[in-house]
Amino acid sequence: MSEPLNKTYVWDPVVRILHWALVIAFATSWGLGKFGPNIMTLHFYSGYILAGIVVLRLLWGLFGTKTARFATFVKGPGKVMAYARTLPSPTPSRSYGHNPVGAIFVVGVLLVLTMQVMSGLLADPEDYINVGPLAQYVSSDVARKALSLHEPLSTLLLLMVLGHVAAIFWYKKRKGENLVKPMITGYVDLPKDKIPH
């Protein structure tokens, strides 16, 4: 007989709004970067929005609600490996917030997004049009290096997003857990022993 589940509030509105805003802003920035127009004004604006979202999420990770804080969900190697060993099992994980492996993704994607934003702000393609607003404050070598990193970082981010989507499908198909619904409603069904007191 399975343990009864309790409807548990896990994701606050700030986390949920920032999550979906990040999805939209990244898709917009990536699409404008890849498909134009050649004058990157709209890409810059969407990049500024993306930068704002990342800054807010980093601040919320320091000062936000319990499940939003890095100090709560980032775990050491032992807990990460122990959780990773449970991934092939069809048993639902029923995590209160980010699981230890998911935490690596969250930190990783925020780090790469920060690098992506900074590379865009500093990049200078030397076309006198699509110049990052901070390029004038760094040497031409730094501006060129930033430009050379911007596209590979966007590809890395796309791969991370695809990996995230694949993980969502994996959890749904293998473990019977819907990870999308809680990011909309804020609620997760958890057994009593998984709910912190």
Show the domains of the chain with their CATH numbers. Answer: 13-190 (1.20.950.20)
Q: How far apart are CA 172 and CA 90, in angstroms?
A: 10
CA distance 75 to 71: 8
Predicted local confidence at residue 36, as pLDDT: 83
pLDDT at 2: 64
Decide: pTM greater than 0.85: yes
Query: Would you give the DSSP letter of residue 194?
Result: G
- Measured distance CA(31)–CA(158) in Å, rounded: 11
Please give the pLDDT value at position 4: 86
Q: What is the mean pLDDT of each run of 10 residues along the chain (197 residues)?
A: 84 98 96 89 95 98 96 96 94 93 96 97 90 95 96 96 96 95 96 86
Using one digit for the tens of pLDDT, what is the confidence trace for 26-52? 999 999 999 988 888 999 999 999 999
DSSP 121-182: HH---SSSSS--TTGGGS-HHHHHHHHHHHHHHHHHHHHHHHHHHHHHHHIIIII---STTH
Angle at 19 between CA 80 and CA 195, to 5 degrees: 50
CB atoms within 10 A of CB 10: 21
Of the candidates 89, 115, 96, the residue with the CA atom closest to the CA atom of residue 192: 96
